[in-house]
Amino acid sequence: MNKEQVTARYRTPDGLPVDIAIFTITSHAKPGSYKMLADRKLEVLLVRRSARSSAFPGQWALPGGFSSESETLAEAAYRELQEETNIGADVHIEQVKTVYYPGRDPRGWMPSVLYCALVNEDRLRAISPDTDADEAKLFELDEALRLNLAFDHKELLNDALTFIQTKMMTTTIAKEFLPRTFTIRELYQVIQTVVPDFQEDIANFKRNLLTTKTRQGLIREAIGSDGEPLTTDRNSNRPAQLYEFADYEPRISIYNSGMF
Amino acid sequence: MNKEQVTARYRTPDGLPVDIAIFTITSHAKPGSYKMLADRKLEVLLVRRSARSSAFPGQWALPGGFSSESETLAEAAYRELQEETNIGADVHIEQVKTVYYPGRDPRGWMPSVLYCALVNEDRLRAISPDTDADEAKLFELDEALRLNLAFDHKELLNDALTFIQTKMMTTTIAKEFLPRTFTIRELYQVIQTVVPDFQEDIANFKRNLLTTKTRQGLIREAIGSDGEPLTTDRNSNRPAQLYEFADYEPRISIYNSGMF
DNA sequence: CTAATAGTGTCTGTGAGACATTATTGA
DNA sequence: TCAATAATGTCTCACAGACACTATTAG
């Protein structure tokens, strides 16, 4: 096909929707007279479609909307995020994939560019159902996947999940779910929350992370303004050392265990 | 924005182009009286835009075209591949990303869904310039990136390159560039051709690949119909053992050197 | 013989995994 | 003191990296 014979001769899409899977990890403190590690759960934000919708009325769906000619796709995703939450700037947003196949949307030729956002729970205090009449709610992931979601959003949600699971193991995005400084155990919990398959002795996890040559520069001890190492007692009575991610994205390989 | 108020109220894109970066690795035998390893080069297929094009006439570009309502995006990419080459079915195609920002195409609101294809040189014997008048040519990657490509195709090509480099190290796509059975050295060359940073003693590379527990099941010895191991002398006078990929995609992590 | 690649062997230091043990805090 | 998490220690085996060395083939 020749790119020159464009709009005149060919039908054009009916829009270019952008959908976004907004993930967060919530921690629920366990009751008890002693301080214990919080339960962490991976949750995703869904919105309920209006009862008057022409397609999938009343069903839960990923937040989304149409991108416009005057904005980038990431800007459109960001705008959707803003409309459903009250999160400010510098949120981590990544494009997952773009889908289209005939029949995926009863309203016509509707591709969808899928984004995902990783949001720290601290920044998701109030989910503002906003001016829109639509309802927005965080669901635990399993629950969300059991719902009868609108469109092909169940597949999209699964794709987004696989995407962040891969990223969780191969990049430092765990930091998006953590405060700037965190304990080793918190990091470990976040990884396990997103990737339940990840099972490892925490003592070894810690040693491998901190004392291993190939992982030098990944995280470092958090140092306070007084030059002393920072600690926290938010997870236990005994204070724990705080760490922070350094600016290093390791490159890994299946061919030589470790980095290259 | 509400998804219901669609085509009537909003401007729609002028098309949904799909562009495709078709990569191949060519081997060029070195002259000499002894058998030597071939030089391998990563190359990409570009097409020259017609001199009568309204946009970027005469410049080189990634092959691409408009997807239609009746096909998936991957089908559109595959169709483009077919139009520029004579490659049959089961070609490895992957979606890289989708881009749009105002002004990226002088013809209007044109996003682009970028795919990449990895093609074994054996299957790319004749690049059929086809019925189209447009010229198609393989370029070495460095050369392609030095050209003044049409649109934002230099960025797209860079994105596609980064994409396959990551995939080369973290998945078994090396097989797309290799015959079904290959020598360890050929695998090593393919990896290095795509990712020049990958430098490792080949003796260790081989041992790590073959004798290491965490990489069991990645490749295996190729066995002939007579039950004997297969060898080849295509790279040297001394025959070398042939291997093949098993069906195993390892999962790797930055947190614990190796698989999980 | 030679020139090339294929393949083996060896040694050392580091890391992974499986534990067991001790330390520290608030209630 | 107790209940919880934090932190350290120890032992073994696997593995990565460096390197030297031998083997095989066609010409």
CA-nearest residue to A173 within chain B is B254
Amino acid at B55: A
pLDDT at residue B87 in the model: 82
Q: Exposure string (b/e) for B216-248, b if CB count within 10 Å is 16 or more?
A: eebbeebeeeeeeebebebbeeeebebbbbeee
Interchain proximity B257–A212, CB inside 8 Å: yes
List of protein residues whose beta carbon is under 7 A from strand D: A 32, 34-37, 183-185, 203-204, 206-207, 231, 235-241, 256-258; B 33-34, 200-201, 203-204, 207-208, 211-214, 233, 236-239, 258
pLDDT at residue B260 in the model: 73
* Contact status, residue A109 vs residue A14, Cβ threshold 8 Å: yes
pLDDT of B8 over the 50 cut: no
Q: What is the distance between the alpha carbons of residues B96 and B73, in angstroms, rounded to a whole number? A: 12
Q: Any idea which of A90-94, A123-127, B71-75 has the lowest mean pLDDT?
A: A123-127
Q: If pLDDT is split at 50, 70 and 90, which confidence band does A132 have?
A: low
Which residues on A lie below 8 Å from B109 (Cβ)? 69
β-strands B112-120, B17-28 pairing: parallel
* Structure token pair of residue B238: 């001394």
Average pLDDT over residues B43-55: 92
Measure, in angstroms, how far nucleotide C3 C1' is from residue B183 CA.
20
Average pLDDT over residues A92-111: 96
The tens digit of pLDDT for each residue in B207-235 reads 999 999 989 999 999 999 999 999 999 99
Q: If pLDDT is split at 50, 70 and 90, which confidence band does B156 have?
A: very high
Interchain proximity A100–B67, CB inside 8 Å: yes
Cβ of A7 near strand C (under 7 Å)? The reply is: no
Q: What is the distance between the alpha carbons of residues A79 and A67, in angstroms, rounded to a whole number? A: 9
pLDDT of B104 over the 60 cut: yes
Which residues on A lie below 8 Å from B99 (Cβ)? 73
Mutation target to probe the A interface, by most A beta carbons within 10 A, among B3, B49, B59, B201 is: B3
Which residues on A lie below 8 Å from B52 (Cβ)? 4
Residues near B97 by Cβ (< 8 Å), separated by ≥ 6? A95, B114, B159, B163
Paired strand residues for A231 = A241
pLDDT at residue A238 in the model: 97
The tens digit of pLDDT for each residue in A6-65 reads 444 578 999 999 999 999 999 999 888 889 999 999 999 999 998 998 899 999 999 999
Average pLDDT over residues B172-199: 97
β-strands A17-28, A39-48 pairing: antiparallel
Percent of chain A with pLDDT over 70: 92
pLDDT of B243 over the 60 cut: yes
What is the DSSP code string of B107-118? TSS--EEEEEEE
Which residues on B lie below 8 Å from A1 (Cβ)? 65-66, 80, 83
pLDDT at residue A134 in the model: 61
Interchain proximity B15–A17, CB inside 8 Å: no
* B184 HSE (CA, 13 A, CB side): 19
Average pLDDT over residues B119-142: 76
* Structure token pair of residue A191: 């990884």
pLDDT of A137 over the 60 cut: yes
Given the structure tokens 């149409």, which residue do they identify? A66
Q: What is the distance between the alpha carbons of residues A168 and A162, in angstroms, rounded to a whole number? A: 10
Chain mean pLDDT for chain A:
91
Percent of chain B with pLDDT over 70: 92
pLDDT at residue A198 in the model: 94
* Structure token pair of residue A225: 């303004």
* Contact status, residue A43 vs residue A142, Cβ threshold 8 Å: no
pLDDT at residue A8 in the model: 43
Report the candidate in B20, B7, B23 with the shortest Cα–Cα distance to residue B76. B20
Helix, strand or coil for residue B187?
A: helix
Find the radius of gyration of the CA atoms of chain B. 21
Q: What is the distance between the alpha carbons of residues B195 and B187, in angstroms, rounded to a whole number? A: 12
pLDDT of A1 over the 50 cut: no
Average pLDDT over residues B131-150: 87
Chain mean pLDDT for chain B:
91
* Contact status, residue A162 vs residue A224, Cβ threshold 8 Å: no
pLDDT of B16 over the 50 cut: yes
Helix, strand or coil for residue B192?
A: helix
Q: What is the distance between the alpha carbons of residues A111 and A15, in angstroms, rounded to a whole number? A: 8
